[in-house]
Each structure stands twice: as C-alpha cells, then as structure tokens.
Structure 1
C-alpha cells in the first residue's frame, strides 16, 4: 500500500497489481504454513502399514468458488448483497476477482485508489467503506513426523490439472532431480490435451498469449529428512537451514524455506 501511494501519480495502474502468496517455514521440527489466495501446500505422508504415500493438504484456500469462502465474505459484508457474483459460471468477488485474500490489489482494499486514472475495467462502480479483499493470511502449524516425506508448494495453475493425490503420486514415482520441472511439464501436457492441441504447439505460443490457454504454474517440492524429523522432538536446532538452487543459508539464519507467488502473469 505504501508503494502504491508513492507511485500513484506516475504509475496508477500499480493499484491493480496483486498476487497470491504461499510461504513455508520449518523451525525445530515444526512446519508453519501461511497462505493468501488459492495456491496450495500438500504433504506426502508415508503409511508404513501399506507403503503408500498419501496426500494431506496443509493450506486453506481463499477462492470464491468455495462455499465457505462465499459465506465468509457475506458475513464480512452484510450490507452488500453483490459482494460475490456468479459471472460466466464462475464465482467472483464483486464480479471481478476469484480470490478473497491476496497481497496487492490495493484498489480493492482502499477506496481512495478505486478511481481515475485507474482503468475503468478495474474499478468497482459502487463506493465501498471497508476493504473488499483481505491481506490476512491463513496460518497452519504442523508438527513434522518421521513419516512425512515431502511438501509440494504450487500455484493454482498446477491444481487445475491434478488432485492432491495425483500430484503426490508424481513426486513419489519419479526421481527427485528435476521433479518440479517434470510436474510443470505434465500439467502443460494436460492443458494442451484439454485444448486438443499438441504440447509442442502450446510451448511455441508467446508468453503474452499463453494466459488464454492455461494459468501460470509455479511448483516447489521440498523433501524432508526423516532422520532429522525423528530427532526434532528431542533436539533443539539453532534455527533454520536452507539448501537449494546453489544457495546455502547459515544454520543460525531464520528464514522462510520456500515461497511461491501467483500474480496471474509470471
């Protein structure tokens, strides 16, 4: 909001820029998940009796297509019967956006930015007194267990094509190296099939046009060390360590180990 205020006079369209955000932190054997929007974190958990790895969703999604989210919006805006509108068979907040919580999209949080020179296609025609969207994340705390194998962090572009269990099966049944890239490619192949086109042809479409064929997809897979998990309840680690992408963060550094964002264009 501070950035939008600073740039409003020279770049007002920034008021309509927003993103989902999904963050995970592990500290002393405890996993913390914070989510805004409709990205999703899914845990793969081993069932020792059968050898199966089952999916366990760890995040709460904020999408108007979910009945409980619509009821939440109605309760927060009792004086606005149009807070959620069914448009082209899709539930949208004010008929504009599917998610109810996000970072950014300041024009739907502060009425002073819901005006010219912001483009008319973004503006809400009716004035509002309270924020339409929220930036308060849903937070889940999970005590990691030795049977917890990995966590998939992904934007809704992946979950449009896979159920939680299907995504877990892909990770479980393929080599670790390059698994996130493999999941993206598999999702793109599914998107191409839905469009009755070849994956190679879909890949040739310019980035600016691709949005009409599939949503953007971000995937991160974090594998868990079962030995560390089994010791987590008795050993106090000094903090958090992160290793990946050629980057190492010191053990005494407290930091999120993974973040995914989805702003509809990257």
Structure 2
C-alpha cells in the first residue's frame, strides 16, 4: 500500500503535477508535518500506558502447564483482551520507557522525511537494498508475494490458487518546475508536452501484501491455515511478513496445546448427523464438545493476534509505530472453518443453491443451480457503529469519508492532523493503539456444508472496486468451465485466482488510471481440499 506523505512546507498544491498527484487515493495511513515532532511525546505516553497491559507469555504457559483449564465465558467474548492478559515483561521505569519510545517515534519521523526527499523511482519492489529481516525468524511452509519464486504449493493448483500483484503509482518529472515564465505560458505546447510526458511514467510500488498457506497444520492432515496480510506505512511489508510467520507459529502452538479430548473433536463431528439420530445423549455430548472447541479456538486466535501485535515492539528492524498490517486468516479444521479478521481484507464463501422449477410436475432435472455469496468477515471501518463507539470512548476522533468510495479515518486530534488510519483494527499502528484501534480480531465460525463450493480470501486491492458477488462470479467461471482447465481436464483454482486479480487490475485502471494498490488473493476449493491428504 502507498502512504501519502506531507512534510514539505513549500508544497504547491496548485501546480498541475501536484494537483494530479493529490487526486490519487490516499490508501491507508496519512502523515502530516504537524505530528512528526508534536505527537512523539503524546504517542510515547500512550504506548507507555498501553505496554502495562502486555501479556506475559511465560506466565500463561506456566498456568497452562499447571492444569489451569479456564474456558472463555460467553460474556467475555467481547471483553478487551488487555483486561484478561497479564504483563509480558516487568515494567521499566517510566522515564526510561518514555525516552526509548520517543526515540523510536522520532526515528520513524526521520524515515518519513528521508523517504519523501528521494525520488519515487528509487523505490522498487525488487530493489536489492530493500530491508528484510532474516527468514529464519519466521517459520512458514509457504508464503507468496509478487517477488516470491514459483514455489510448489502444499495443495495442487487445481484445488488452491494464489496470486499477488504489486501496485503501481505515477512518477512526476522532478525537473519539471513552474517558474514565472512557465506560469505565463503554461498552456504552451512545450509545457503541456512536458506534463503529458510526466503523466505517462509509472513505477512499481513495493508490494506490502503477503499471503501464506500452512499445511499440514498442528500435526493434523485435515487442518490447514490460509491468510492474507495487507501492510501499510513505511516498512509495512516488514510488518505483514512478520505477522504472516508469527500468526502461523503462535496459533499452531496454541492448537497443539488444546486438551486431547478436543484435538480429535472435529474428527468425531464429521459424522455428528448420524450420532444425533442414533443416540441423543451422544449427540448432545458432541455438540457440547463442538461448542467448547469453538470457544477455545476463538480465544487462541484473539490471543495470537494480540501477541503478534505486542511482539512487533521488540523487533529492532521493524517500525510498528506508524506502520501496520491487516490480517484475514482462515483455519480449516476438518469440517469447521474459522475466520479471524483485523482490518479491511475480506473472506467470502460461494455456496451452491438449487432453484426449483416453477412447473408443478417438473422433475428435479429441470431445477437450476446458482452460487450464493456468503460473507465470512466484515470490513472493520472506523465509522462502523461498534468500531466508532470504541474509538470515540477511548479519546480518538473519526472523520467521515471525504467522498463516496473512500474510507473514514481515525485521528489523534480533532483537527485531523495527527495520523489518519483507514481501519479500526490492525496489527501494528501503535501510534493510534491508545485511541481505540485494536489488534483484537473478530472471529467467526462456519460449519462447512455439502453445498459450499469455494472461499476467497483477498486484500482490499480486490474489493476496492469489486463487490463480493462479482468476485465469486469471476472465480466460478474459471472453476466450472472448460476455459479454466489446466490442460488435463481439471478446472484450476490458480487460473481462477489469476483471473480475479486481472479483473481487479482492470478496475483500478478504469477508476484510478496509473495508480493501483497491491492485490493479493487465495482461492480454495472446499470439496476437494482433503482429497490428497
């Protein structure tokens, strides 16, 4: 994702090239010159207070080892995790903590200034100077982005498709300036030719999206993890990469730590229909096990996201104050699909529905089928009712969308000069964590039915100009027609995913011209997912 930076007092919004630049969508995080120094102390104080709620991983592990089997009560599902998780490390003296955080915040400001002083052409997604932390820190089975090699998927490409495309942005000629002479003759053919030439130049943005697949997962041949992460801000690609690996690792640890009676619970539930009709008591027991399993896995997801968010503060080569990432993660565990979402990436399900014929004596052969789009997640925008109430009660400010199609934003001040985050939940973005923005995800559970065909997980590069129903229609055309075949008679999820990305790219070109956001998607065929395990 791109970040709009404004640190130059002499910026002339009225010049043609800058005016055109300002027509492009400000994607996720807006910086202003007013906050680079002024917000440092305020954000440090907020973070110092926020860090007092960081959970102690060692303490939690000791309690689990001691047999503490507390379950998450239903009335606790919406309670902030910070109230239930203990401190992650001993509290340091406030003065030292404030100094340390203030230095990190000011360091982020220097990064912003340095980036804005360089020509955009110097930033490219495949640059050898691009900062990357050691891969050994992030244990992962498979991850992908636009620069990743063509690695073999854990699943056949006919079953699971992945695709990621870096964004594009226009580059304006820095040598083309409007002197008094050019202002007087700004309509001359020479001036317009220079401007038109500058408009035609584009450069590939650093791809801050990440996607990952882990299979087999948690020592289970019928368990897989899928996720898409949409980074934003300076170094957002580092945050999304870190979140990708850490979510996989920490969630797996928690799943392996589930009681043994629950580890096999999903396997038993696959035949729950037969159990309920044959033995009511056994059916009740299975339902109780299912409910307990869902509560514990929901809790595991929420604690994992919060720990990943806190862990960013310990990474010396990642700046999480003014950068962050969304996270939309799907855990497919036998016949249960868990969706954990923080931000505005999205997951949707395609379900086949039968339309009965209108004729009274018509046979079932005359019935037609269609695909129904089922939302598995909800975009967490700042102006959504529940999200906005939390932000306002925490002392934050929410500005309405400046125009239809744009997002509302979270601000630190009423004047809307300090930070402008276009989502209410995220991993990272610690400068606004003190005003209601949270990493605590919304977790939903879906029991996979026979009619469920496939799911789509995608970053907002897909959803910006495309409805969920349109995405399902595009994917279905390639999954269920000859044009989507892989040459062996099997329809291909990879081809369907690629078609979805290309359709999204065309939408960006139609509405935004030379600007395009990063785009990442995963398509999973549910009926065939365990066929090869």
Q: TM-score range by the shorter chain?
A: 0.5 to 0.7
Aligned to 2:402: 88
Q: Per-residue CA shift, 1:33-59, capped at 9, x if unaligned?
A: 000000110000000233100101011
Partner of residue 426, structure 2: 102
Q: Structure 2: how far apart are the matches of 1:188 and 1:223?
A: 23
Deviations 1:127-175 (A, max 9, x none): xxx4531010000000110000000001111111211111110011122
Contact persistence 1:65–1:98 (CA under 8 A): no
- Picking from 490, 501, 506, the partner of 1:184 is 501
Name the TM-score, length of structure 1 as normaliser: 0.64
Partner SS, residue 16 of structure 1 = coil
Counterpart in 2 of 1:60?
378
Task: Provide closer, same or farther for how the CA distance between residues 193 and 87 of structure 1 changes in structure 2, counting only shifts above 3 A.
Answer: closer
Unaligned runs of 5+ in 1: 110-129, 203-212, 229-240, 244-250, 252-266
Aligned-residue offset at 1:242: 10
Q: Separation in 2 of the partners of 1:36 and 1:242?
A: 31
Distance change in 2, residues 1:58/1:3 (3 Å): closer
Matched, 1:214 2:516: yes
Q: Does 1:33 align with 2:354?
A: no
**Larger relative strand fraction:** 1
After TM superposition, give the deviation of residue 65 of structure 1 in Å. Answer: 4.3
Q: Which has the higher contact order (CA 8 A, sep 6+)?
A: 1
| 1:73 pairs with 2:391 | yes
SS at structure 1 position matched to 2:329: strand
Q: Which has the larger radius of gyration?
A: 2
Q: Paired residue for 1:48?
A: 354
Higher helix share: 2
Counterpart of 2:299 in structure 1 is none
Contact 1:47/1:147, CA 8 A, preserved across alignment: yes
**2:313: which partner in 1?**
4
Change (3 A) 1:4 1:152: same
Alpha-carbon RMSD: 2.4
Q: 1:6 & 1:151 partners in 2: Cα distance?
A: 34
CA drift at 1:180:
1.2
Distance 1:65 1:194 in 2: 24
Q: State the 1:182 CA deviation.
A: 1.2
Q: CA deviation at 1:88?
A: 3.4
SS at match of 2:340: strand
Contact 1:24 1:33 in 2 (8 A): yes
How many residues end up aligned between the 2 structures?
Answer: 189
Cα pair distance change 1:71/1:3, threshold 3 Å: closer
On the 8 A contact 2:391/2:437 being kept in 1, the answer is: no
The offset of 1:6, in angstroms, is 4.9
| Aligned mates of 2:459, 2:509 — CA distance in 1 | 18
Change in CA separation of 1:88 and 1:73 when aligned onto 2, cut-off 3 Å? same
For residue 66 of structure 1, report the CA deviation from its aligned partner: 3.3
Question: What secondary structure does 2:466 align onto?
Answer: coil
Q: Which structure 2 segments of 5+ residues have no match?
A: 1-309, 356-367, 479-483, 485-491
CA–CA distance in 2 between the matches of 1:4 and 1:39?
Answer: 23
Instruction: Identify the residue that residue 246 of structure 1 maps to in structure 2.
Output: none
User: Secondary structure of 2:352's match?
Assistant: strand
**Matching residue of 1:123:** none
In structure 2, the CA distance between the partners of 1:158 and 1:242, relative to structure 1 (3 Å rule), is: farther
Give 3-state SS (helix, strand or coil) of 1:157's partner.
Answer: helix
Q: For the residues of structure 1 that align with 2:516 and 2:385, how far apart are their CA atoms?
A: 24
